[in-house]
Amino acid sequence: MIGKYMDVCTSHLTQDTVDNLVIGNIPSVHAYDYEEGMFVVIPDEEHHLPNDLDEVFKYAKQNDITLIRFDRDGEEIDDLPTYDWRSPKERFLEQPAYFQQTALMETAMRIQDTADFLRYTGDISIDCDEMELLCIFTEMAREFEYKYYGTDRYTDDFLNFTNEVFREELIEKYGTKEN
């Protein structure tokens, strides 16, 4: 049975907590995301929780709330702390180094695949050796990750979107035909 319900702004949580809730990385907490936020059922038992989520749960329990709707346009509650959310570039830079390197290498390889196809079709011409190509593709990947990491464009139809962006950027920089 669901009791009282509370609508609250997602700014009462850190981005890391929201990310962990969405991917189910906080055991004992059931979160159901939707386009503008998520519903969270408050667990009956006490568990180790991130401090921000713990504060919201304590407030909710004091007010006999059993279900919380976190929404970006929800109410900000004076008794709860709020958190500034970082830019996509800041979030990417805060990831562990191995994550950054893996993401960059995967993106660079996809740029190279796109470039190989465009070179084959004659749409672009890049006159440099393999090492220079690797540097070019890695720098493009770094710019791409900074620009799109953590945005809707990073997740929505990511492969098709990125391949089209890579194609456009490669043709713009190295195109052989007049547009």
DSSP string, 150-176: TSHHHHTTHHHHHHHHHHHHHHHHHB-
Q: Which domain holds residue 98?
A: 88-174
Count of CA atoms in the C-beta half-sphere (13 A) of 3: 11
> What pLDDT score does 179 carry?
46
Phi-psi region of 8 (alpha: psi -120 to 50; beta: other; left: phi over 0): beta
86, two tokens:
């970082």
* CB-count burial class (<10 Å; 0-12, 13-18, 19+) for 27: exposed
Is 38 inside any structural domain?
yes
Give me the residues of the chain with pLDDT under 50, please.
1, 179
- Measured CA to CA, the distance from residue 39 to residue 30 in angstroms comes to 8
Per-residue pLDDT reduced to its tens digit, 58-94? 999 999 999 999 998 889 999 999 988 766 666 666 6
Statement to judge: residues 96 and 168 lie in one domain: yes
> What pLDDT score does 8 carry?
94
Is 56 inside any structural domain?
yes
Residue 69 makes CB contacts below 8 A (sequence gap 6+) with: 5, 6, 7, 8, 37, 38, 39, 40
Statement to judge: residues 62 and 14 lie in one domain: yes
Residue 153, phi then psi, degrees to nearest 5: -70, -25
Statement to judge: residues 34 and 111 lie in one domain: no
Statement to judge: residues 93 and 170 lie in one domain: yes
Statement to judge: residues 63 and 128 lie in one domain: no
Statement to judge: residues 104 and 59 lie in one domain: no
Is 164 inside any structural domain?
yes
Is 78 inside any structural domain?
no
Q: Are 13 and 53 in contact (CB under 8 A)?
A: yes
Statement to judge: residues 119 and 62 lie in one domain: no
Looking at the structure of the chain, the number of domains it has is 2
Give the pTM: 0.50
Statement to judge: residues 122 and 164 lie in one domain: yes
Is 147 inside any structural domain?
yes
24, two tokens:
């189910």
Statement to judge: residues 151 and 93 lie in one domain: yes
* Boundary-marking domain end, from 45, 71, 97: 71
